[in-house]
Amino acid sequence: MTCELIGLSSVGDCTPNQGGIIKSFATKLSNITSATITAGVISNFTMSSTGLWEEYEYDKDGTANFTQPGALNNNRFTVEQTAFLKFGGLSQAYLDAANKAAACCDTVWIHVLSNGTRVVQGFEYLTATGAPTGTINRRTRIVPNATTGTSNEESRLEFVIAGNANSFTNTTSLTDSAILAL
Amino acid sequence: MAKYRVRPDFLAKYPDATTLVKTPEGNYDSVALGGKSMSVPVKATKDVPAYTREVRGATQSDLEYLYKEGNPHIEQVIETKAIPESK
């Protein structure tokens, strides 16, 4: 990506910029044959078949989040992309989902932020329409954690979705119903 | 008149490929690039029981929309009329 400095203004001192993510959708990278970019935003996906996006509705308890801290090692810039999702309870269905999720090598996630923005985790930033390339430095994988907790805590399944890229994520303009219609 | 088609090599590799087109009302409609409609079973969630979703086959106007959107899997086909041989 070429160097350019773009001035920014904060949304406003007193605007409550609520953080967190409220819902996510996931698919395997290999299911996406191309992503369409319109005015810098992903406006469409072409999928190898239909019904390949899965919806994840996790606990709304202030724990779900997605972070992209940049890092500089000498002159090498990278971005560690990490999402955290928590599903209350533990069951055979949860453990099945965890085992299968852990086996996926390259995954793509759309996280819906509390402010309505939708970020796409799992591939390098796209500036033009085309087939996406997975996160280059480390594949975006799911690390499930299943824990009973103690009797004072809650049992839960946690998904940590982590990858390492050369760039920050794209966003998408696709709605929930559009993603599920794909 | 210009016609549009899915690139044959892409279709051979992904015969069930799907994407979205925008309706005149501004909604999204999923279309199957192979041109044939497909039925997709949708799993039940805690809020919605299982149901079957229909994906219609892409029409010429869908392909034109996707071509103009820049979809790399669609190409324009220029029809040429055969010139009758002169006697």
Q: For A14-23, A36-45, A104-113, A126-135, which range has the lowest pLDDT when averaged over its residues? A: A14-23
Say whether A85 sits in a helix, a strand or coil.
strand
Q: Rounded to an integer, what distance in angstroms lies between the CA atom of residue A124 and that of residue B45?
A: 32
Question: Quick check: B81 pLDDT over 80?
Answer: no
- Model-level pTM? 0.91
**Interface residue of A25, A32, A47 to substitute, partner B, most B CBs within 10 Å:** A47
DSSP string, B7-54: -HHHHHH-TT-EEEEE-TTS-EEEEETTSS-EEEEE---SSS--EEEE
- What's the CA gap between A48 and A26, in Å, rounded? 14
Residue B42 carries which side chain, given as an amino acid letter?
A: V
- The answer, for B49 touching chain A at a CB cutoff of 8 Å, is no
Q: With an 8 Å Cβ cutoff, are A49 and B70 in contact?
A: no
User: Would an 8 Å CB–CB cutoff place B26 in contact with chain A?
Assistant: no
Integer Cα distance of A58 and A84 in angstroms: 10
Any chain B CB within 8 A of the CB of A55?
A: yes
A149 sits in the region (left: phi over 0; alpha: psi -120 to 50; else beta) called left
Which residue blocks in chain A are alpha helix, DSSP H? 92-102, 176-181
Radius of gyration of chain B (CA): 17
Cβ-contact A53, A120 below 8 angstroms? no
The whole-angstrom distance between B40's CA and the closest CA on chain A is 7
Instruction: Tell me: pLDDT of B80 over 70.
Output: yes
Q: Does A19 contact B at CB distance below 8 Å?
A: no
> Mean pLDDT in chain B?
90
Residue B47 is predicted with a pLDDT of 79
Kindly report the backbone phi and psi dihedral angles of residue B3, in degrees, each rounded to the nearest multiple of 5, phi listed first: -120, 160
**Is B45's pLDDT higher than 90?**
no
CA angle centred on A50, ends B72 and A110, rounded to 5°: 80
Q: Which of B21, B53, B50, B60 is nearest to A43 (CA)?
A: B21
- Within 8 A of B72 by CB-CB distance, chain A residues are 34, 129-131
| Overall average pLDDT of the A35-63 stretch | 94
pLDDT digits (tens, 9 = 90+) for B3-32: 999 999 999 999 999 999 998 888 899 999
At B66, which helix (H) or strand (E)?
Answer: helix B60-69
Q: Which of A112, B10, A147, B21 is nearest to A120 (CA)?
A: A112
The values of phi and psi at residue B15, to 5°, are: -65, -20
pLDDT of residue A85: 96
The full length of chain A comes to 182
Model pLDDT for residues A108-156, shown as the tens digit of each residue: 999 999 888 999 999 999 999 999 999 999 999 999 999 999 999 999 9
CB of A162 within 8 A of CB of B10? Answer: no
> From the CB of residue A127, how many other CB atoms can be counted at a distance below 10 Å?
12
